[in-house]
């Protein structure tokens, strides 16, 4: 992914060469969406509201932290939410799998287990989002949140939320494969809410979302450490997420000297990949910790829990949108 970032987030001869393919891709996704909009392709309407949290670009933008925050917000307002996720990185599921905090992350995916741990709400993993939603209905859920799936038009939705990495933006603004976009930027004009993840943004029409971290937690026993204990220290940083550089830069902002170890998103670790011939502390994301907990037996390993703090205007906006779905 990082190799592609070089071409996607700049104008260069590779992206120029791929533009004809990009125009074809853009045409296909536009026609496909139009066919669903005109009911020429079948789509399914559920008896409860459906919220899609997605993006129009490839790579990590902060969808999962937003889903976790959204579940807590909806519970506060009396809803009983459930989450569906495709299960990227997990084994292909013939049937939807109900996920718990003890589920195997390599079977149902690391993100699914993380969502189950953090939300304490029903989570179902499967590429079949319709069947997953039906399983959540059987669990008594009265609202469905889809982690990703903006382009999965077979499932009708009541609210669409797009998350944008405010720092990286849309790169060279081309669709795949010349650029990072799954759909053209004009798609943003049709969504209900745009959430900007980060401090820097050229857009002023979205809701801001800031990430706040908890103190480092030891992977082996769950004990917390003070961030100050690691200021000025050299550390290893392990990340297999959509945008690992964000995690590396965060650790650097805390005063750490970071030795970066980047892996593909949803990577399946083996112990040798996270063992190093020195005594430096080892840091990883919460999503990586889900997969590495059974691989380590040392107090050197720590992970960082991140919470999303949403713009104060977001809560009334989403609740008002849901209120309108009850009157339709």
The DSSP bridge partners found for residue 44 are 155
1 part of a folded domain: no
Average pLDDT for residues 122-147, to the nearest whole number?
Answer: 97
140 part of a folded domain: yes
Count: domains in the chain: 2
* Same-domain check for residues 179 and 234: no
How, if at all, do strands 123-125 and 143-147 pair? Answer: unpaired
Domain that holds residue 257: 215-304
Which position has the token pair 């961030």?
227
**Residue 81, pLDDT score:** 98
Distance CA 314, CA 320 (A): 10
Average pLDDT for residues 215-236, to the nearest whole number?
Answer: 95
Contact in structure between 108 and 159 (CB atoms under 8 Å): no
67 confidence band (pLDDT: 50, 70, 90): very high
pLDDT of residue 6 exceeding 60: yes
**Residue 200, pLDDT score:** 55
**Residue 173, pLDDT score:** 93
pLDDT of residue 224 exceeding 80: yes
Tokens of 55: 């993006």
Ramachandran angles phi, psi of 123, nearest 5°: -130, 135
Distance CA 30, CA 28 (A): 5
* Same-domain check for residues 79 and 119: yes
Digit-coded pLDDT (tens) for 11-21 = 788 889 999 99
Digit-coded pLDDT (tens) for 232-244 = 999 999 999 988 9
CATH classification at residue 115: 3.40.50
* Same-domain check for residues 224 and 185: no
* Same-domain check for residues 77 and 178: yes
* Same-domain check for residues 106 and 204: yes
Q: Kindly list the strands in the beta sheet with 143-147, ordered across the sheet, starting from the edge strand earlier in the chain.
A: 97-99, 123-125, 81-85, 143-147, 50-54, 159-165, 193-197, 207-213, 306-310
**Residue 199, pLDDT score:** 66
Please give the angle made by the CA atoms of 107, 112 and 118, to the nearest 5 degrees. Answer: 135
Least confident of 2-16, 58-72, 225-239, 307-321: 2-16
Is the preceding peptide bond at 139 cis, omega within 30 degrees of 0? no
């Amino acid at each position: 992914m990082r190799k592609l970032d070089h071409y996607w987030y700049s104008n260069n001869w590779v992206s120029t060469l791929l533009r004809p393919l990009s125009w074809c891709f853009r045409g296909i996704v536009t026609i496909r969406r139009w066919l669903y909009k005109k009911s020429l392709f079948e789509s399914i309407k559920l008896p409860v509201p459906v919220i899609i949290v997605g993006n129009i670009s490839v790579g990590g933008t902060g969808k999962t932290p937003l889903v976790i925050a959204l579940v807590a917000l909806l519970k506060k307002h009396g809803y009983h939410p459930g989450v569906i996720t495709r299960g990227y990185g997990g084994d292909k599921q013939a049937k939807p799998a109900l996920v718990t905090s003890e589920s195997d992350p390599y079977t149902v995916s690391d993100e699914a287990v993380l969502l189950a741990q953090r939300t304490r709400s029903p989570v179902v993993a499967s590429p079949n989002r319709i069947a997953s939603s039906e399983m959540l209905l059987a669990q008594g859920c009265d609202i469905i949140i889809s982690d990703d799936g903006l382009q999965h038009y077979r499932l009708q939705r009541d609210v669409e939320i797009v998350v944008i990495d405010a720092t990286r933006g849309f790169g060279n603004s081309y669709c795949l494969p010349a650029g990072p976009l799954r759909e053209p930027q004009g798609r943003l004009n049709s969504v209900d809410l745009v959430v900007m993840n980060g401090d820097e943004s050229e857009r002023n029409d979205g809701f801001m979302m800031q990430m706040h971290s908890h103190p480092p937690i030891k992977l082996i026993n769950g004990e917390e450490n003070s961030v100050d204990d690691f200021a000025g220290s050299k550390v290893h940083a392990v990340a297999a997420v959509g945008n690992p550089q964000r995690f590396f830069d965060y650790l650097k902002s805390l005063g750490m000297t970071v030795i970066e170890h980047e892996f593909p998103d949803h990577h399946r670790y083996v112990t040798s990949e996270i063992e190093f011939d020195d005594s430096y502390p080892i840091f990883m994301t919460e999503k990586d910790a889900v997969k590495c907990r059974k691989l380590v037996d040392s107090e050197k390993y720590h992970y960082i829990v991140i919470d999303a703090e949403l713009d104060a205007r977001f809560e009334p906006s989403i609740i008002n949108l849901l209120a309108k779905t009850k009157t339709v």
